[in-house]
Amino acid sequence: MIYHVSPTAIVVFIFFVLAVLALSFYFARKTKSESGYYAAGGHIHWAVNGIAFAGDYLSAASFLGICGMIAFFGYDGFLYSIGYLAGWVVALFVVAEPLKRLGKYTFTDALDAKFNSRSIKLTAAISTLVVSIFYLIPQMVGAGSLVTPLLGLPHWVGVVMVGSVVIFIVATAGMTSTTYVQFIKGGLLIVFSLIVVILVLTRGLNRTPSAEYHQFITLKATISENKVTAVSDTSYKILGQHEDKDLVFVKLQKNGTPSWWKLNTNAPEPVLEEAPSIVIKKDGGILYNGAPKGTGKFYQVGHLNKVIVDGKEVEKTGAVDPFEYIKRLQDSQITRFTKKSFGFNGDNVTLYYQNITPGVKIMKPGLYYKIDKGATFWSRLDFISLMLALFLGTSALPHILIRYYTVPSQKAARKSTIVAISAIGFFYILTLYMGTGAMINGCLDISNSNMSAPLLARTFGMTLFSIISALAFATILGTVSGLIVAASGAVAHDFMDKFLKIKMGPKEKVRSGRFAAVSVGLIAIILGIIFEKQNVSFLVGLAFAIAASANLPAIFMLLFWKRTTAKGIAWAISVGMLSSLAIILLSPTLFEIYGLPPSRAPIPLQNPGIISIPLGFITIIVASLLTKKHHTAHTAHTAHTVDGETKSTHTIQE
């Protein structure tokens, strides 16, 4: 086990959680109205709201997921940073001010402002709920990942802890406390990430990450008839061999401890290279590098194979500036660890073999998203799909959109978006350094990419690790709070109050919102446990795709196409949401979760955006044209809202 519980970590963690709870108690006393609960009364300063936007957005996906993906796959993880930020351009230029003009508390209010249509209320509420839940899953997964190293507790305990604390926060205080928690957390996250990056640059590139770093062993192998028959160290006994296409893995045993090795025939003479492994035995027992959890055999990995400076191989570079760091990394060679899973004599073996990768490959796309060598039509389409979903998803995320209602004016909405773009953009630049820093500093837990950034911080001392981990936990608390406010708004405000027209006084409305928050929180806890092993950034990519498919066509066409009808919007939301969900459920990743071979997935796309987003746009155009007459007859007095204020309208009965 590579995690050891630290008293410092526990103290810092408890301090952060108590601080968040204290803030919630303080604001809970001020939250008496529906406006206060859902929109913080609309009186948050734009600068505070901007950083709170950053706090909302720099979720587990950004901090844990992106850094983890960069640490494992290099530049491909940084694609998320680029796409996530580009999405804010759409939010600023297209959505921010009009949505502020149209809305009240929720995204559904804005969509429905022109029509007052029951079908819009229903579909938009469901879409908000679905997107929020999909966004909640990775946050919960991230929480579980963090609690293991911080407190030495199992993953599911972390998920339950976050769920419980957040349900408590949201159910008591609502949007005001969420805003201030996000403001403080967003600011601290950026500052401490900057500190980590400065330390990474000061350390520079070093072939030996630390004195304690594991020394990988290589054994000379004798091969006869494609079988390894002997190794140079006779204290090892050969237990068996597994072949997987061109790869050969050999199981050895020394002093009763089994271990896995990869045969390398490209060396001058055949050698076996040590490969860390996790083996689930027939009887259910789990061995980490041949020994049970807790024996400390499952070491951290990630190092430079060669450090090249101006064409010469050196041991280390010393302190470097941000540009020199990237240049040196491009020129060097990095030892990555590639995962391989297979069955062997009834055991489930997952091993991570050494894969020496040139820095030039690390610093461009291709290690995760196959767009270069070995690319197929579908892998290229997947890349486009991801970039499209990230670009269009941000401005369709309900928990981001509701933050436009916490500020007093359109100008404030715009300014807070610019503050958000600046803060988020700066943070995303830092992710490249944190991710690659984790990749080369011998700190990776190869079984869990999500822990890369906190583990990098640990190489600089337990205090920084404790602060970074606690901040990451607070990040999750804040983001989950925002998501649950959005989801509870969809259930209590959009569905119960506006769609079902249940008669409720102001206090009952807030109470129903709180009840909805508890329900959504419980669902998120369950899903967070189920999706434990998935990279959180990948999961958020799916939430973006659903949001972009279901909500963006509706928002965009409502603002810029005067012939858009209520039924067009309702149909677009339904088709966009259902098609993206269907593609996700039939994707290779989900097949892996079902326990089926990913190759049997009928749609080989990981991200549905490329199909479902255009489908949403086509649906809204076709449905609006088909229902135009009906709409015109019932909304003769409706004025277009883009040019200024929203005017009165008739109700459309559907």
Interface of this chain with another protein, residues 400 to 439, rule: CB under 8 A: 405-412, 414-415, 417-418, 421-422, 425, 428-429
CA 271/CA 269 separation, integer angstroms: 6
3-state secondary structure 34-76: HHHHHHHHHCCCHHHHHHHHHHHHCCHHHHHHHHHHHHHHCHH
Q: Which of residues 377-396 bind another protein (CB under 8 A)?
A: 380, 383-384, 387-388, 391
Q: Which of residues 560-589 bind another protein (CB under 8 A)?
A: 560
The least CB distance from residue 292 to another protein, in Å, is 43
CA 52/CA 475 separation, integer angstroms: 11
Task: Quote the tokens at residue 134.
Answer: 């999909």
Q: Answer yes or no whether residue 519 interacts with another protein by CB under 8 A.
A: no
In terms of CB distance, is 86 or 518 closer to another protein?
Answer: 86
In terms of CB distance, is 618 or 642 closer to another protein?
Answer: 642
651: left (phi over 0), alpha (psi -120 to 50) or beta: beta
Task: Quote the tokens at residue 286.
Answer: 């789990």
Q: DSSP letter for 405, please.
A: G
In terms of CB distance, is 239 or 375 closer to another protein?
Answer: 375
Work out whether strand 218-224 and strand 277-280 pair parallel, antiparallel, or are unpaired. unpaired
The least CB distance from residue 645 to another protein, in Å, is 5
- The full DSSP string for 576-622 is HHHHHHHHHHTSHHHHHHHTS-GGG-SS--S--HHHHHHHHHHHHHH
The least CB distance from residue 371 to another protein, in Å, is 5
Q: Which of residues 312-341 bind another protein (CB under 8 A)?
A: 323, 326-327, 330
Q: Which of residues 5-44 bind another protein (CB under 8 A)?
A: 35, 38-39, 41-43
Task: Pick the binder of another protein from 1, 153, 198, 375 (CB under 8 A).
Answer: 375
CB 583 within 8 A of CB 603: yes
Positive or negative, the Cα torsion across 599, 603, 607, 610? positive
Strands of the sheet containing 257-264, edge to edge, are 227-231, 218-224, 271-275, 257-264, 247-254, 237-244
In terms of CB distance, is 20 or 432 closer to another protein?
Answer: 432
Q: Which of residues 529-558 bind another protein (CB under 8 A)?
A: none
Q: Which of residues 613-652 bind another protein (CB under 8 A)?
A: 642-646, 648-649, 651
Q: Which of residues 43-62 bind another protein (CB under 8 A)?
A: 43, 46
* Distance in angstroms between the alpha carbons of the first and the last residue of the chain: 59
CA 602/CA 583 separation, integer angstroms: 9
In terms of CB distance, is 105 or 288 closer to another protein?
Answer: 105
The total number of residues written for the chain in this structure: 654
Size of the residue set binding another protein (CB under 8 A):
78
CB 302 within 8 A of CB 442: yes
Task: Pick the binder of another protein from 149, 174, 366, 482 (CB under 8 A).
Answer: 366
The least CB distance from residue 17 to another protein, in Å, is 30
In terms of CB distance, is 81 or 488 closer to another protein?
Answer: 81
In terms of CB distance, is 247 or 360 closer to another protein?
Answer: 360
The least CB distance from residue 617 to another protein, in Å, is 15
> What binding mask, one character per residue, do residues 68-107 give for another protein by CB under 8 A, x or -?
-------x--xx-xx--xx-xxx-xxx--xx-xxxxxx--
Task: Pick the binder of another protein from 314, 371, 523, 578 (CB under 8 A).
Answer: 371
